[in-house]
Each structure stands twice: as C-alpha cells, then as structure tokens.
A and B are shown apart, each in its own frame.
Chain A
Amino acid sequence: MKRIGLVLPDAPQYSETFFNYKIKGLQDTGFDVIVFSGKRSNDKYFFKHYGAYPVYKGKPVKQFFQLSFIILVTFLKSPSKVKNLFSAERKDGNSFTESLKTVYINAHILPHKLEWLHFGFATMSLKRENVAKAIGAKMSVSFRGYDINIFPLKNKNCYLKLWKNVDKIHTISDYLHAKALKQGLTKEINFEKITPAIDISLFKQKDNLGKIKNPPHILTVGRLNWIKNYETAISAMKILKDKRIDFIYNIIGEGIELERLKFAVHQSGLNERVFFLGKMDNKKVTEKMREADIYLQPSLQEGFCVSTLEAQATGLLCIVSDADGLRENVIDEKTGWIVPKRDPEAFAEKIEEVLELTEEKRKIIAMNARQRIEKEFKTEDQIRKFKEFFDE
C-alpha cells in the first residue's frame, strides 16, 4: 500500500470537512495516510497522527536537553535519514546549529517510510524542503490563496528552496499557479489543478428558485479579515440604503476585524440592516444559506472560495468580486455575476440589477450555478484526481 505523509499546521478537527474528506477519500482509494501536524496530542483520529516535538521558547536549557535527546533517539532509529537531512541543510549553507534545529523540527517525520510527503500549504514546507529527499520520498505541495498571494509579500523569495526540491504541485486555481511562476517556480515542474469540491448532498437546493424575499436577504460567509474586504460590501449597502432600497445583510464568521467592521456599519447608519451572526457550524450555515436570496463575496483575494461554491449549490444569486480564484469559481452572467473588487458602486448597482431581473431570469442563473457545481465540483472527481496525482 502506498503511504502518504500529509503535513498540516494542525490535525483537522471533526468539523473541518475539507481535509477530512480528502484524507478519507485517499484512504478509501487505497492509500495509507499519516498526518504530521505542529502539535502532539492524544486525540483520536481516523488517521495516524504525529505531532512535532515542542519548541521551548525562552527556555534554552530545557530546549538544549530536549533537542539533544530527540535527535539522538531519532538518529538511533534512522541514522541515514538524519544524516541525509543534516548534510543537505549544511550543503544549503546553513550553520551547524541551524541544521540541527531543522533535524529537530522534522524529527517526527524522519522515521517514517513514505512514498509521498505532501505539504497542505506552501508555507508548511518552509524549513522542511529537504525532508522528502532525506527519507527517500517524493515531495508535493498544495497552493492555497494566502501562501502564494500574501505570505511572499512579507517574505520575498521564501519559496526558492521549495521550487528546487518539489516534485509535483497541486493548485486550486490556474491563477495561483501563474502567480507562483512569477515567484520563481519553473514551468518544468509538474502541476495539477484540482479545485475544491463540495458534497452536493449536504447542500439541498432552496425552494422557490429565483424568488426574492421582501426585504431581500443578502449573505456573506467567511472570516472577518481584511482579505475578505467586507468594507466594500458595507459601503455598497450604504449606497442601497441611500437609494431607499430595503434589504437585510447577514455576515457569518468571526475574526480580528470585528471592531473595524462594526464601526463601519455604525458609521454608515446600518445598525438596523447589517448583522454579524458570528461563527456557525456547517449545518447552521447551510440553513442560513437556504434563507438567503443573494450571496456576496467581495474579497480582495481568494484562492478559490468554497463558500461561493456552496452558495451556488444552494441556488443563491451570487455576486462576487473579480479576485483571482473567484473568476474561475463563478461564470459571469451565467452562474452569477462578477464585479470589480473594491468598488462599492459596482456592487450596489449589480445588486439593484439582480433585484430588478425577472424571476424567470434569476431562476435560470440559479439553476445554471447548481448544475455546474453538480457537474464540475464533485467530491468523487476531486478524490479521483488526487488518487491520480499520487499514483503517478
């Protein structure tokens, strides 16, 4: 049986459907999956799980003994792999201590015999670029949004070592791959586009497709983060309100920008129309989606955006920004509408336009969206593609 090591920041919890589906799917198609995360834990999972050894910040003595002990034990277990990784790090020009540290932070991975070492995010591969080779595995990585679009802005050229070592790349959108090419990735490296998928059975189509409530219910689901650009949506709502168009705008999600957004709502005089519903579990989100009419995704940047897929599956009228991955997620005028990001007037106009469409026209768009999701974003396809990805 082929064995895949999946490196993630945390072991996916029960509610994190995305990675759970992927892991289960791979298991079902005959792979043995081991998850390597940043933290050791005693929780029970349906997959094997190994956490990284702890880093004791500000406790140099404790860290020294822990590091020496773990490296010694790992060395006794798999001397050649430790040696391989250490010398590869030295060859890359890292100091003796730095190289030892790299051995330590990868000590939970080294003893395993793997066919593939797959990094769930590009950022997860930092300081682990030589691990796959050291243990005789092939190395692959997934591109999401943040790790390709945002992280390198602050950390210029951070992936040069990754590009040198990676064997295969999984990207969720063409856009991200193109962007990585600009960051030094070469065209010769194999890549596969596998978009996120959703379990369509969980997203029942809403009743009365194309009908709109009075007042219309608008919805966005996502973390309250600047990347999602809720301020543009809120400004659009103010424009609608000033035009005396009635509506309710619900935002599901939590995050560090709540204060900023609540102030924007308050300042725009929208306390009676815009509501922050906080974080909700998947079931609650599907219910809320079925109650909504229009789905907004005003993001500045998106890898792909699963919520927009879910909204389309539910039969909502989706208005999204032209941010990278979203342009592949929604087909303008066919399964929804795409408007320029950071343009509140454009969002407001589009909402107005959608409200003025005939019910028949709206129904066609909603049905197109559902059909496209059913056809092109099936979980079975995603699993099959991942199987092929690792089968090669």
Chain B
Amino acid sequence: MSEKKITVAIYSGNIPSTTFIENLIEGLSESGLGIYLFGKQARDVSYKGDVKIFSTPVSDLKLVIFVMKESLKLLFKDSQLFFKSFRKIRSRKKKLKIFFTEAGAILPILNNPPDIFHIQWAKTVEQYPELFELLNCKFVLSLRGAHINYSPLNDINLANAYRKTFPIIDGFHAVSEAIGNESIKYGADKAKIKVIHSSVREDLLKKSAELYKKGKPLKIISIGRYHWKKGYHYALDAMKALKDDGVNFKYTLVAQGEIPEEILFMLDEYKLHDDVEVMKGMSYEKLIEKLQQSHLLLLPSVEEGIANVVLEAMATGVPVITTDCGGMSEVVKENINGYLIPVRNPRLILEKIKEFISANSDFKASMIKKAKRTISEEFSREKQINDFKNFYYSLTR
C-alpha cells in the first residue's frame, strides 16, 4: 500500500493486555502501522514493530505529578482543548482521586492523538464518555463476548451508555457476525460493522492429536476459566449420564482459579471424582500438549464470541463438540468439521458424544481434515492482520 502511515491506538486500559490483544498489537505493528498504547503499565514490554507506549503511573504521588505535566503540555499545545477537557472531566466526578485517575487516563491521549482510537472493551465507553467529545480522530470499537451479549441486559446504565455512544462510533470490529447483530440493538450502524475473526497460531496446524480407539477410555477435555457462561454444570450433567450409561471415559476440566462451590457440589452429588479430573490453568505449551492427548474437545458454553479454544482444538486436530452460541456456528458446521448442538441441553451433549464414539475412523479423519482447513483458510494470522489494516485504512480515507 502506498498510502501514508497511519497511527492506531489499541486501547484496553492495561499494558500489557490479554494474550490475544498482545498478539494483535504485535501483528499490526509488524505490518507497518504505528501503534500507540495508553493505560496503566504493569510491567516492561517490548515489541519488534513501531509501538509507542504512553503509560499512566499508578501510585498517587506519581499520578499527581504526571497529571500536572500532561496538563501543562496540553495547555501549551491547545489551550482551548485544555480548558474544555477540565470542564468535562470535573463536571462528572467529585472525588479528587477519581478526578486524577481520569485526567491521568485521558490527558496523554489528548496530547498524543492517533489517527484511529481502537477501543478493545466496549465497557470503556461508560468509563470515559468525555473522550468522544474531546478527541478528534476516528473511533473503532471491538465487539466482544460478555460486554455485548449479556452485561447490558442487567446493567441499564451500561445499556444507555451504549445507546448514546454507538451511533457516533466510526467503525465496529465484530469478532463474529452474531455479535455484530447483537450490537445493532444498541444503535450500531450495520454498514459500519466489520467482522474480523481472531486468529490461531499457525504452528498448531502442523500438530496432530491422539486418536480415539474403541475399547479405550474416551478422553474428553474442556478448557476455559470458571464462569457461569462456560456452562460446565451442563457438561457435568452429561458426564453423569455418560457414566450411568456405562461409557468408558475420562473428562478433564482445565480452568483457572478456585473451583466454584457449584462445581464441587455437582462432582460430589454425581460421585464423579474418579471420572472427572479438574486441573488448574497451565502454560500455553502445556495446554496444547494436554489438548493433543485428548480425543474430543467439549465447549458447553451458553455464551461466547468465538471461543479461541475451539479454534485451537480444530487447528491441532482434536474433534470438537460445541454449543451453538455467539459466533460458534460461523466456525463449526454440524457433522462436517465438528459437532454443533443447542445450548443448555446435557442430553444432546450425551448423544453427540455417543455419536462420536460410534462414528467410523474415515469419517473422523475427514472431520479433522476439514476442521484444519477451516482454520487455515478463515482464521489465519495473515488474514486477520490484513483485514484489520484494510479496515483502518478504509476509515481514514
């Protein structure tokens, strides 16, 4: 592309951010975009490409000095904007500490305006509504999972903030078509929504997983943090039924954090202690190894954007059973590259597992092959970065 280099702020509030946002930053910066990062910095980070970091200090004293320094900078640069900003920031908050936190977050952005300000978490629009009036650039908002699918259902203030802000956003990045459609309810313009799928590490495509052999225990795995939306309680219902039916299996649940009472209760109630192995979160490498030792990945969620773990399993060659929530049906086609079942239905989980057990090995091999093809064609890193780049350029043109 011969166009002039544009700068994009990837804003999540934290430096470094979550793994997939960090991957995005890396990919975008290496593709020739200028990347700005704002927010609180937890530790040192380094990137290969062109990444500028404007971090806001956390400790009180440093924050006050930082705000004064940034204020002076803005005063000299654009005095009108300086006074406007202070009026805006002061009008909403009363507590001094909150004022400094907010000024500390917003001022560096105003002093270093990017061409595109890309907000990673939709809830930010409720946190800093002033930004949209003060910052003169294009705004992009990512539509991800919970922030769109259920948080606003139970939080009227958040829903109202969405309704107020979404109409003035210049472009939406949707992780799936489904979530894009959901955002229209809050006033997002359909024409401004661009679906860009997340990507999977390419080296996974070269890997393969253990194959299920009849007569041996079926190794089923689920991966993901403990949260009600993950639907693990439905998975345990299904495992209980599987056990009652005399199926030889082992279910592994890999999840970070303390095991919730609900899960403990169900394991005890269903007497599944010997059939279900609960593992703590582990390193990515270990996780992939664990995945490769599994015969079947189960995603029992009631809500997802597009679950990365399903993409990773498909890339690695592990057959998947996933519920049809969020954008999952955009990846998994029933009985072709995986199994797709309705949400909240343990009985169907059970039936699908049995269907998998009795499927012949040719069919299983072709399912694995097709899954790998889906990932390499639609969820490659190259495609993701290119899509983002084109999307950003289309907004600045």
Contact = CB atoms under 8 A, between A and B. Distances in A.
Interface of A: 149-150, 153-154, 226-227, 231, 235, 257-260, 262-264, 266-268, 300-301, 342
B200 to A, nearest CB: 27
B4 to A, nearest CB: 45
A154 B154 contact: no
B350 to A, nearest CB: 13
A259 B261 contact: no
B268 A153 contact: yes
A62 to B, nearest CB: 22
A264 B345 CA distance: 13
Given A267-B302, A267-B343, A342-B237, A226 B261 contact: yes
Interface residues of B, number: 20
Contact of A262 (B150, B265, B302, B303): B150
Contacts of B151: 259
13 contacts: A149-B265, A150-B264, A150-B265, A154-B264, A226-B261, A259-B150, A263-B150, A263-B154, A263-B303, A264-B302, A264-B344, A266-B153, A267-B302
Contact of A263 (B237, B268, B269, B302): B302
Contacts of A268: 344
A300 B264 contact: no
Contacts of A259: 150-151, 153-154
Contacts of A262: 150, 153-154
A235 B344 contact: yes
A91 to B, nearest CB: 32
B387 interface: no
A29 to B, nearest CB: 38
Contact of B150 (A153, A235, A266): A266
Contacts of B344: 231, 235, 264, 267-268
Given A262-B150, A267-B302, A267-B343, A300 B269 contact: yes
Given A226-B233, A263-B302, A268-B344, 5 more contacts: A150-B264, A154-B264, A259-B151, A262-B153, A300-B269
B153 A150 contact: no
Residue with the greatest number of chain A CB neighbours at <10 A, chosen from B151, B153, B229, B264: B153
Residue with the greatest number of chain B CB neighbours at <10 A, chosen from A226, A257, A268: A226
A153 B265 CA distance: 7
Interface of B: 149-151, 153-154, 228-229, 233, 237, 261-262, 264-265, 268-269, 302-303, 325, 343-344
A272 to B, nearest CB: 15
A300 B240 CA distance: 15
Given A259-B151, A263-B150, A301 B265 contact: yes
A199 B228 CA distance: 37
Q: Considering the complex of A and B, which 6 residue pairs feature the smallest CB-CB distances, nearest first?
A: A263-B150, A259-B154, A153-B264, A226-B262, A260-B228, A262-B154
A183 to B, nearest CB: 12
A342 B325 CA distance: 21
A235 B229 CA distance: 15
A264 B150 CA distance: 9
Contacts of A235: 344
Main secondary structure of the interface of B (DSSP, over half): helix
A263 B261 contact: no
Contacts of A226: 228, 233, 261-262
B246 to A, nearest CB: 20
A269 to B, nearest CB: 12
A253 to B, nearest CB: 15
A258 B154 contact: yes
A150 B261 contact: yes
Contacts of B343: 267
A235 B153 CA distance: 19
Contacts of B154: 258-259, 262-263
Nearest to A259: B154
B234 to A, nearest CB: 9
A263 B228 CA distance: 11
Nearest to A258: B154
Nearest to A238: B344
A126 to B, nearest CB: 17
Given A260-B228, A267-B343, A154 B261 contact: yes
A227 B266 CA distance: 10
Nearest to B343: A267
B153 A153 contact: no
A154 B260 CA distance: 9
Contact of A257 (B228, B261, B268, B325): B228
Contacts of A150: 261, 264-265
A276 to B, nearest CB: 10
A153 B302 contact: no
A260 B302 CA distance: 10
A257 B150 CA distance: 12
Contacts of A257: 228
Contacts of A153: 261, 264-265, 268
Nearest to A260: B228
A263 B344 CA distance: 12
A300 B150 CA distance: 25
Nearest to A153: B264
A266 B262 CA distance: 22
A149 B262 CA distance: 11
A235 B345 CA distance: 9
B265 A263 contact: no
A263 B264 contact: no
